[in-house]
Amino acid sequence: MSSKAPDQNFLFENFSKIVGKDDVSVDETELFAYSLDASNHQGEPWAIVRPENRDELVQILKFCNEQRIPVNPRGAGTSFAGQALALKGGVMLDMRKMNRIKEINIGDRTVVVEPGIVYSKLNEELAKYGYSFPPEPGSAMSCTIGGMVSNNAGGIRAIKYGVTRDFVMGLEAVLPNGDVIRTGSRSIKTSSGYDLTRLFVGSEGTLGVITEITLKILPKPKHVQVLIAVFKTAVDAGKAASQIINSGITPSAMEFVDQFTAAAMNPGLSKPLPLGEANLMIETDGTEEDIVKAEMEKAAKVCQESGALEIKVSQDPEERLQMWRARDSVTTRLMQLRGEGMVPYAIVDTGVPISRVPEALRELKDVAKKAGAPLIVMFGHIGDGNIHLALSIDPTKELEKGDKIARSIMETVINKYRGTITAEHGVGLSKAPFMPLEHGVALNYMSKIKKVFDPNGIMNPGIMGLDEIPQSTFTHMPKKIGGS
Ligand SMILES: Cc1cc2nc3c(=O)[nH]c(=O)nc-3n(C[C@H](O)[C@H](O)[C@H](O)COP(=O)(O)OP(=O)(O)OC[C@H]3O[C@@H](n4cnc5c(N)ncnc54)[C@H](O)[C@@H]3O)c2cc1C
């Protein structure tokens, strides 16, 4: 693979022949804009290309493969771990022009889409038929389905409905040599051969470019209730969450937010939420109103028995919308702290077994504090064991300390809890140093699989620990904050 940028005119001319001049850019300002995503990293492409169809992608990939030019697919660029950047230069493929819904099939409960369609736009269309694609990440208003599939994105409803992976029935993808493969089946059941669909889900653009996705869809629930319960400590809230699951109910969402997170959520709301030290936000849904209500009553009772200081139940759709909007805004508000001269490090995205959530909430905070973390914010999709921590680090002095904190957290999650270094955001660059910790020898096999699809290593190089393992989680930082 070439690490040196070829002459820009050469790139512009060759890509223009394939997609037309209007869909190629080598403009300095635009290249800079595409050098960032929602992570702390930076990686600038040599050119930006906006393909409109599969045939253009076949030509682009063949050309790049021959020339050994890195190819970096990108949806909306909302990734938190640096996987939507051009870490080794090369071409940035902006996939957002491929945004058509090709088929909505209510009889089969499937939808076929191009990868560039935005999550909320797809769900607006599905709502016209009373259906939805439920995973709903916090970035629902902007992220693309291609980005969700490639990161295996999750969201607040994973506890009941699953994550993106659970909905992908099949894919079409273009490989670096120009081959077009179709994976999966329209049949709900298939036991036919290796599951290449699942291999592509979560592959972060390292195997090929996805050009079509077949998703399962579900009828929208008719009845929904929400609850906010305030607790004295995170451990009390964690215990209540575990007991709710043990009681046999499966809420459609169960979120934990600590005091600092609550403080970030409330400003801007017309009616502030009754949030305190440690809070659970719970939703039940279904087709039968009395069952939804009974489940909510049971959840409220468990919260009460677990020492909740205050409980508020609501059936009002406006209040529910406001509550989830506030929850969705959490990461954005934490990211805004960058303006205060802090790096809310990579919004740690660990996952642990559900039964061990209360213990992990306490221990991860202690581990981070012991390693010297200056500020620790905790929130997460507690019902599925996904715990987020945000640690603020002084970008001019504390990168070594940041590495130490991140490693202590990851080691605890893997060695003690048999959890995961990333439950939904993906590995990218920031979690690549910890891939050997989680996967051991299996990581070698992941690298070998990548080589089968991409022998020249042109697909999104530098991420997931497949071609190299960075020693620090703070590589490829913007120059102004002193990174390499
Ligand atoms: C405010 C905020 C809230 C968030 N909340 C959540 C959350 O609740 N849950 C969650 O899981 N994530 C969340 N995220 C992270 C992120 O939004 C999701 O992972 C999202 O799915 C990324 O989609 P995207 O279109 O931005 O993809 P990008 O960031 O552009 O790309 C993601 C990956 O997909 C690859 N890719 C994109 N398109 C293709 C394609 N066609 N073929 C092959 N590879 C491709 C890219 O190379 C990259 O590796 C949040 C981010 C923000 C900023």
Instruction: Report DSSP letters for 1-66, one per residue.
Output: ---SPPPHHHHHHHHHHHH-GGGEE--HHHHHHTTB-SSS-B---SEEE---SHHHHHHHHHHHHH
146 CA closest ligand 1 atom index: 38
Going by C-beta distance under 8 Å and a sequence separation of 6 or more, which residues neighbour residue 311?
Answer: 227, 228, 229, 230, 300, 303, 304
Rounded to a whole number of angstroms, the CA Rg of the chain reads 22
Give start and end residues of each alpha helix (H) in 247-354: 259-265, 289-305, 317-328, 330-335
* Residue 117 Cα to ligand 1 middle (Å): 12
Atom number in ligand 1 closest to CA 331: 1
What is the DSSP-derived secondary structure letter of residue 213?
Answer: E
Q: What's the 450 CA to ligand 1 centre distance in angstroms?
A: 20
- Pocket lining: 78 vs ligand 1, CB cutoff 6 Å: yes
Give, using CA atoms, the residue closest to atom 34 of ligand 1. 147
- Using CA atoms, how far apart are residues 281 and 338, in angstroms rounded to an integer? 27
Q: How far is the CA of 203 from the centre of ligand 1 (A)?
A: 12
* Ligand 1 geometric centre to CA of 391 (Å): 21
Q: Pick the closest to residue 221 from 301, 328, 317 (CA basis).
A: 317
Encode the chain (484 residues) as per-residue pLDDT tens digits: 666 788 899 999 999 999 999 999 999 999 999 999 999 899 999 999 999 999 999 999 999 999 999 999 999 999 999 999 999 999 999 999 999 999 999 999 999 999 999 999 999 999 999 999 999 998 999 999 999 999 999 999 999 999 999 999 999 999 999 999 999 999 999 999 999 999 999 999 999 999 999 999 999 999 999 999 999 998 899 899 989 999 999 999 999 999 888 888 877 667 777 777 899 999 999 999 999 999 999 999 999 999 999 999 988 888 888 888 888 888 777 777 665 555 555 568 999 998 898 899 889 989 988 888 777 788 888 889 999 988 777 766 778 888 888 999 999 999 999 999 999 999 999 999 999 999 999 999 999 999 999 999 999 999 999 999 999 888 888 765 544 4
Tell me the angle at which helices 357-370 and 399-411 cross, rounded to the nearest 10 degrees.
150
Sort strands 278-286 and 24-25 into parallel, antiparallel or unpaired.
Answer: unpaired
| Type of residue found at 191 | S
Q: Given the CA of residue 115, which atom of ligand 1 is nearest to it?
A: 41
**Is the shortest distance between the CB of 209 and ligand 1 below 6 Å?**
yes
Q: For residues 212 and 92, is the Cβ–Cβ distance under 8 A?
A: no
How far does the chain reach from its first CA to its final CA, in angstroms? Answer: 21
- Which residue has a Cα nearest atom 21 of ligand 1? 148
Nearest CA to ligand 1 atom 2: 139
From 71, 92, 143, give the residue whose CB has the most ligand 1 atoms within 8 Å, as the site to mutate: 143
pTM of the model: 0.95
> 289-305 and 234-246 helices cross at what angle (nearest 10)?
140
Nearest atom in ligand 1 to 173's CA: 42
Cβ of 332 less than 6 Å from ligand 1: yes
CA distance 208 to 285: 38
- Give which of 220, 166, 234 is closest to 197, Cα–Cα: 166
User: Which atom of ligand 1 is nearest to 78's Cα?
Assistant: 26
User: How many CA atoms lie within 13 Å of 313's alpha carbon, on the beta-carbon side?
Assistant: 15
**150 Cβ closer than 6 Å to some ligand 1 atom:** yes
* Coil vs helix vs strand at 84: coil
Taking the CA of residue 143 as reference, the ligand 1 atom at the shortest distance is 25
Distance from residue 250's CA to the centre of ligand 1 (Å):
27
